[in-house]
């Protein structure tokens, strides 16, 4: 599912296509007979209910105004059929003839509807309404989705979410809302059946906390939602596992940011590290430049600190939309420079420094290495890119087969880019974002690199391509791919064996670069 013309991440047609891709992948799970059939249908019902509400309140009213009356009537008719099938699915159970018949018909109607919209109606709409309107309509589309069916819970923002569906929508959609109200805690999990049991327990725990979809909220609202670290802590508590992982010391400092202000820097020092200055790892947190902070990625830093026997420093860079690109990158580069110049006071060795991070933290790790090389400054001895974003494009097969992944799905990825690059669409082609567009010379300047990717991750394909590009350029490159796990798995070593393996892999990569005794190079 993809539009055949260029769009920006916040454009209404782009957002609509993301929704289509998510539902299509969930249909494929159902057709393959895998996953939790009841939960998959509930999630599809939630997605389609919100999607229908937003289209009918924002998009379709414009169509008659610009000469698309027939298209308007056809789309409204198909939406009505979709709602009727959803109502049947809500009152029946998997395996019952009525349920299975309604599901088959729903898939037929939705796929026909998607084909019409993506191949004919949305291109016509953009051409007639004008590309410059698409971003504003995209914002209205997300606002409308915040008013679509859901049920109130402790983590909900104060306004909009708990409202009843507007009276303009057909009654069958009210039935969908009522059906979902008792299943709210299932709506944020991964129901595909493709995760291993330990990973499934984490996404189930996150869903049980009742988060609303980040991708329909404002950044301020989204930051109040439970994050991946909350999910891990819940699993730990359920299993009686204490935490966090102890280290020698943790210190919070304030250092300059890239704009003459200040940013936080958390410093982790291992216990019993021995005499002499220690190697240093700058570890950069993720969150799509919008969400999360150094607290969210505390477990990763503790794990790297202990396993690599290094001082780990984590910068609290500025985030979008308050500070859009390149603010985060500037802060990370500034943090690297400050740490190098002040290594002694941290108990670190400025000649043994490495860099790494998760998600866009991995992006900024590589971007920082690029900037250092371009300026003739000493490069990190090694870098670790954990499921990095390496292009602003919707790249590779993972954009389809992991479109519905949790906690990062295709719609959330677009939401993050929409805010991170607000007012700066050219940012997506900047070398600090478009890592796959680097020249051979730029790639060849990278330090030894470990790239970690995972199965249920929209960023999988682009991370794998980045590793292949570096290897082709002669960079000592290791790529490790983990099946049965999801984006944000790396910090879950307390409850996920594959996270422990990935952290050990990262530590060995760093120890080799630092010349640690007993580690083969």
Angle (nearest 5°) at CA 386 between 380 and 388: 95
SS3 276: coil
SS3 481: strand
Residues 399-429 as b/e (b if ≥16 CB within 10 A, e otherwise) read bbbbbbbbbbbbbbbbbbbbbbbbeeeebbe
Nearest to 394 by CA among 409, 383, 372, 380: 409
In the set 359, 398, 414, 461, the catalytic residue is: 359
Question: Torsion over CA of 397, 44, 135 and 169, rounded to 10 degrees?
Answer: 160
In the set 414, 487, 493, 509, the catalytic residue is: 487
Give yes or no: 230 in active site: no
Nearest to 59 by CA among 45, 48, 46, 71: 71
Nearest to 13 by CA among 27, 23, 1, 25: 1
Whether the ω angle into residue 244 lies within 30 degrees of 0, i.e. cis, is yes
Q: How far is CA 67 from CA 121, 193, 198, in A?
A: 12, 45, 53
Q: Distance of alpha carbon 431 from its chain centroid, rounded?
A: 20
Give yes or no: 359 in active site: yes
Counting beta carbons within 10 angstroms of the beta carbon of residue 276, is it exposed (0 to 12), middle (13 to 18) or buried (19 or more)? exposed
What distance in Å separates the CA atoms of residue 503 and residue 500, rounded to the nearest whole number?
Answer: 5
Nearest to 280 by CA among 229, 330, 344, 373: 344
In the set 257, 404, 454, 457, the catalytic residue is: 457
96: Cβ contacts below 8 Å, ≥ 6 apart: none
- DSSP symbols for 163-206: SPPPTTS-HHHHHHHHHHHT-GGGTTS--SS-S-HHHHHHHHHH
Question: In DSSP terms, which residues pair with 313 in a beta bridge?
Answer: 267, 282
Measured on CA atoms in the order 453, 454, 459, 462, is the torsion positive or negative? Answer: positive
Q: How far is CA 225 from CA 32, 159, 210, in A?
A: 32, 15, 9
- DSSP symbols for 354-408: EEEEETHHHHHHHHHHHHHHHTTPPPPS-EEEES----SS--STHHHHTTT-SSS
Give yes or no: 487 in active site: yes
What distance in Å separates the CA atoms of residue 424 and residue 428, rounded to the nearest whole number?
Answer: 8
Catalytic residues: 359, 457, 487
């Amino acid at each position: 599912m993809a539009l055949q013309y260029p769009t920006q991440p916040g454009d209404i047609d782009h957002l609509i296509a993301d929704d289509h891709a998510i539902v299509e992948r969930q249909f494929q799970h159902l057709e393959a007979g895998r996953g939790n059939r009841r939960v998959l249908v509930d999630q599809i019902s939630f997605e389609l209910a919100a999607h229908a509400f937003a289209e009918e309140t924002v998009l379709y009213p414009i169509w008659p105004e610009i000469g698309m009356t027939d298209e308007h009537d056809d789309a409204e008719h198909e939406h009505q059929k979709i709602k009727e099938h959803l109502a049947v699915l809500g009152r029946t159970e998997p395996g019952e003839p009525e349920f299975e018949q309604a599901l088959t018909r729903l898939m037929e109607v939705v796929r026909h509807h998607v084909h019409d919209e993506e191949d004919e109606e949305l291109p016509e709409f953009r051409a007639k309404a004008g590309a410059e309107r698409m971003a504003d309509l995209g914002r209205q589309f997300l606002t409308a989705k915040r008013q679509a069916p859901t049920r109130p819970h402790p983590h909900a923002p104060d306004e909009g979410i708990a409202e009843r569906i507007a009276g303009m929508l057909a009654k069958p959609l009210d039935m969908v809302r009522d059906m979902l109200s008792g299943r709210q805690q299932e709506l944020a999990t991964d129901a595909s059946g493709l995760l291993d049991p330990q990973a499934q327990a984490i996404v189930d725990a996150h869903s049980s906390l009742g988060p609303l979809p980040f991708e329909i909220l404002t950044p301020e609202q989204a930051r109040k939602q439970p994050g991946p670290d909350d999910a891990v802590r819940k699993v730990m508590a359920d299993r009686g596992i204490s935490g966090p992982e102890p280290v020698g010391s943790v210190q919070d400092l304030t250092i300059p940011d890239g704009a003459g202000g200040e940013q936080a820097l958390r410093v982790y020092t291992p216990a019993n590290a021995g005499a002499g200055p220690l190697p240093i790892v700058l570890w950069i947190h993720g969150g799509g430049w919008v969400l999360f902070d150094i607290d969210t990625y505390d477990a990763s830093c503790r794990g790297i600190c202990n396993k690599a026997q290094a001082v780990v420093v984590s910068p609290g860079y500025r985030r979008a939309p308050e500070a859009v690109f390149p603010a985060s990158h500037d802060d990370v580069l500034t943090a690297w420079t400050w740490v190098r110049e002040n290594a002694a006071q941290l108990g670190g060795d400025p000649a043994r420094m490495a860099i790494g991070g998760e998600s866009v933290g991995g992006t900024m790790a590589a971007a920082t290495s690029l900037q250092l090389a371009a300026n003739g400054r000493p490069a990190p001895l090694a870098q670790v890119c954990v499921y990095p974003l390496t292009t602003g494009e919707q790249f590779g097969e993972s954009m389809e087969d992991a479109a519905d992944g949790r906690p990062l799905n295709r719609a959330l990825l677009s939401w993050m880019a929409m805010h991170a690059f607000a007012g700066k669409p050219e940012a997506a082609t900047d070398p600090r974002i478009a890592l796959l567009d680097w020249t051979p010379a730029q790639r060849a300047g990278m330090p030894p690199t470990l790239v970690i990717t995972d199965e249920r991750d929209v960023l999988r394909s682009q991370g794998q391509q980045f590793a292949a590009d570096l290897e082709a350029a002669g960079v000592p490159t290791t790529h490790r791919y983990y099946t049965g796990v999801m984006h944000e798995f790396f910090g879950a070593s307390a409850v996920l064996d594959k996270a422990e393996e990935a952290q050990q892999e990262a530590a060995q990569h760093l120890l080799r670069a630092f010349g640690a005794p007993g580690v083969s190079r």
